[in-house]
Amino acid sequence: MLFNLNLKRRYKDMAIYHFSAQMISRGKGQSAVAAAAYRSGQRLVDEQTNESKFYKREVQPETHILAPEKSPVWIQNREILWNEVEHSEKRKNSQLAREINVALPIELSQQQQTELIKGYIQDQFVDKGMVADIAIHCDDTNNPHAHVMLTTREVSEEGFTTKNRDWNKKDLLEQWREQWSAYANKALEQAQINERITHKSHADRGLEILPTVHMGHVASDMEKKGIQTERGAINREVQKHNAIVYDLQKYRQEKQQREAALKLQEQKKKVELTPAEQKIVIMAKQIIGDTPTMTSIASYRKSLEIQTQKQKQAIESIKTQNHVVSVAEQAEKQLSHYEKTLEELKGKLDKTGLFKRKEKEILRNKITEVQGKIPKQAQHLAQCLKEANLVKVEEIPFAKKNLNKQLKVSTQKLQENNLTSIDQKIVLKQTEEIIKQQVIRKVISHYPELQNAEKSLSYETAQKLNNLNKKAEKIVGIDSIKSTIRARNRHIEEHKNFLQKFQVSIQRIQRVEKYFEQLVEIEQRLQKIDSNPLLKGKVLHFGKEKEAYDHLLGLQNKYQESLKKEGYRDKDHFIQNRDTILSNVDLKDKTIKEIEDLQLGKHQGGYGASTEFLSAIIQGLEQARNQTRGVNPNEKQKQRLKGQRNELER
């Protein structure tokens, strides 16, 4: 017994497999409503007995109702759902529902457990036509489990129809059991958990654990006195055998751990920089003055551009100043020219004879013209000197010489800096590529399926996947990302179907309300005729009045038939259904918000990443795989469609 206890203690924290199925039937004195109330922890009224079923629980179970696409809206109401199941079964020993009980892997988080059971139930049962009522019990943290009640009848837009006897096949149960271990193991793998479960027996797995035999009090007393018995000998052999089996299992686990550690070391080596890469990174560090990263490189490159721009602006400023000084120089030369011309004209005028009146007149006119230009040119020169920050004309040659010297020095410095920055940019560009490749290699080291994709995997995709892992604080499996996207899309589709059904139900309510309004109006007019002998007599004796009366009867019958087609027996039935549907108005707003949160990844277990972000990762990975295999995506699509056609032909 001590040996058995030690074994339990040794393996009590491992993932366990439990999957059982049973029928809930009237023949056993059971009620579908009572069973649903017990499992969900909700108060439900049984319409058959008008009793309120309620079983108080310290921890409220997490509940979900999953239904096929073409199910009516009231399916989502647990009380209506199971009362309708009770109404649809007429026999005293009818099978009301099928229930499965499964143990949820304790290694998974509550959100992961929920995603696991919902995905499994959706694929294995709901997609086959069943309605599933899930109740997840987590009151005992060491024993999380789920109760799932499944309907036995198929469901349509009108409600429950015929029973599907194929769901009772034994081989289908074996399939469900096997699939549960497959789904659970996939969830454990995606969560980076090494534990696995199996639906197989120890014998099937080659690890046959032998049972001990019952000792009995006589043999036990003899063993206590030190007298060995035949039964005691058998049990000792069994214990030795079982100990070897478990030691073998422990050895295998330790071997796996050692192999994982070696694999991790190999992964680290693959991520490490080569000597040539290290040399380039060291050069980049000397250039930047800090450990190079994509951000620091971009920042330094920007500082180089700013520095170059400042130098160019300084040169342009010198050129502008030089131009201003040159303009001042030209203004001074022009003023000197005017003054010299004026002196020459005055000299000619003095030398011209008294009798040469016409020539003197021409010279006087030219002198007047030049005298008019000199003040304007002097004013222009003063303005140019002011713009050139000069006081005297004599400063112009020195200013020009100094500016030319500054221009030469600045231009030479810019050229030198350009040559240096070109070298730096080359090193930084190489360092960027090294950093990108390191990120790619790091990502690939965590994903065996990407081992051959180092040359084809883009840095953008690798960085997104790397950031996702950092945010999740673990290595998120590619299948897990795909599963998350599928689960989100499935939930979004479920929510959209609910909203669509809700809208259809609202339109149906509005339509039926009009039917009732018209019917009430017609019945009032008919009652008015039937209760008035004079009007009744006219109907009996005059064709026109009879025709109008028959028309009213026809309309009455038409609206009554329309109400039957809508599925309502009477107005009370309609009001009850209308109130149930209208009570979901708040749920509608909540559903719209839930769709937005799902798309943006604002829910537990979503890694905090939007569906668009996750889809971009998967798309990038698929492109890398296609390039690695040398497969054109369009050609791959053609091959897939061709394969589907061949399958259909077979």
Are residues 500 and 597 both part of a single domain? yes
Q: Residue 68 to residues 35, 78, 124, 127, 594: CA-CA distances in angstroms?
A: 22, 15, 12, 6, 20
* 164 — pLDDT class (breaks 50, 70, 90): confident
In a domain, 648, yes or no: no
In a domain, 193, yes or no: yes
Q: Residue 204 to residues 181, 199, 335, 590: CA-CA distances in angstroms?
A: 15, 10, 115, 48
For residues 134 and 118, is the Cβ–Cβ distance under 8 A?
A: yes
List the one residue out of 198, 173, 169, 168 whose CA is nearest residue 183.
Answer: 198
CA separation for the pair 567, 74 (Å, rounded)? 13
Residue 541 has pLDDT above 90, yes or no: no
Instruction: Report the pLDDT value the prediction gives residue 274, as an integer from 0 to 100.
Output: 82
Domain count, the chain: 4
Q: Are strands 62-66 and 95-103 parallel, antiparallel or unpaired?
A: unpaired
Q: Can you tell me the mean pLDDT for 452-472? A: 87
Are residues 398 and 501 both part of a single domain? no
In a domain, 263, yes or no: yes
pLDDT per residue as tens digits for the range 268-305:
566 677 888 889 889 988 988 888 998 999 999 899 89
* 5 — pLDDT class (breaks 50, 70, 90): very low
Q: Can you tell me the mean pLDDT for 335-357? A: 87
Are residues 76 and 162 both part of a single domain? yes
Of the residues 271, 303, 327, the one at which a domain ends: 271
Residue 14 has pLDDT above 50, yes or no: no
Share of the chain above pLDDT 90, in %: 23
In a domain, 567, yes or no: yes
Instruction: Report the pLDDT value the prediction gives residue 199, as an integer from 0 to 100.
Output: 62
Instruction: Report the pLDDT value the prediction gives residue 212, as an integer from 0 to 100.
Output: 65
Which DSSP letter does residue 395 get?
G
In a domain, 623, yes or no: no
Are residues 84 and 189 both part of a single domain? yes
Q: Can you tell me the mean pLDDT for 429-438? A: 89
Are residues 38 and 179 both part of a single domain? yes
Are residues 233 and 160 both part of a single domain? no
CATH number (domain holding residue 105): 3.30.930.30
Are residues 266 and 298 both part of a single domain? no
* 354 — pLDDT class (breaks 50, 70, 90): confident
For residues 131 and 81, is the Cβ–Cβ distance under 8 A?
A: yes
Residue 149 has pLDDT above 90, yes or no: yes
Q: Can you tell me the mean pLDDT for 555-559? A: 87
Are residues 265 and 149 both part of a single domain? no
Q: Can you tell me the mean pLDDT for 379-398? A: 90
Phi, psi of 121 (to 5 degrees): -65, -40
Q: Can you tell me the mean pLDDT for 258-266? A: 67
Residue 263 has pLDDT above 90, yes or no: no
In a domain, 385, yes or no: yes
Candidate ranges 7-16, 19-28, 196-205; pick with highest mean pLDDT = 19-28
Specify the range with the lowest mean pLDDT, choosing from 292-306, 506-520, 557-571. Answer: 557-571
Instruction: Report the pLDDT value the prediction gives residue 334, as an integer from 0 to 100.
Output: 93
Residue 436 has pLDDT above 60, yes or no: yes
Instruction: Report the pLDDT value the prediction gives residue 207, as an integer from 0 to 100.
Output: 52
Instruction: Report the pLDDT value the prediction gives residue 642, as an integer from 0 to 100.
Output: 54
| Token pair for 471 | 């945010």
Phi, psi of 97 (to 5 degrees): -160, 160
Residue 524 has pLDDT above 50, yes or no: yes
Phi, psi of 419 (to 5 degrees): -65, -40
Mean pLDDT estimate for the chain: 83
User: Which of residues 630 and 457 earns the better pLDDT score?
Assistant: 457
Look up the domain containing 485 and give its range. 478-606
Are residues 29 and 175 both part of a single domain? yes
Are residues 105 and 14 both part of a single domain? yes
Instruction: Report the pLDDT value the prediction gives residue 634, as an integer from 0 to 100.
Output: 52
User: Which of residues 647 and 377 earns the better pLDDT score?
Assistant: 377
In a domain, 465, yes or no: no
Are residues 193 and 247 both part of a single domain? no
Of the residues 236, 256, 271, the one at which a domain ends: 271
* 176 — pLDDT class (breaks 50, 70, 90): very high
Q: Can you tell me the mean pLDDT for 245-264? A: 71
In a domain, 282, yes or no: no
Are residues 52 and 169 both part of a single domain? yes
Per-residue 3-state assignment (H helix, E strand, C coil) for 414-483: HHHHHHHHHHHHHHHHHHHHHHHHHHHHHHHHHCHHHCCCCCCCCHHHHHHHHHHHHHHCCCCCHHHHHH
Instruction: Report the pLDDT value the prediction gives residue 104, as an integer from 0 to 100.
Output: 92
Specify the range with the lowest mean pLDDT, choosing from 167-176, 253-262, 505-514, 570-579. Answer: 253-262
CA separation for the pair 271, 265 (Å, rounded)? 10
Instruction: Report the pLDDT value the prediction gives residue 203, as an integer from 0 to 100.
Output: 53
User: Which of residues 589 and 136 earns the better pLDDT score?
Assistant: 136
Residue 10 has pLDDT above 50, yes or no: no
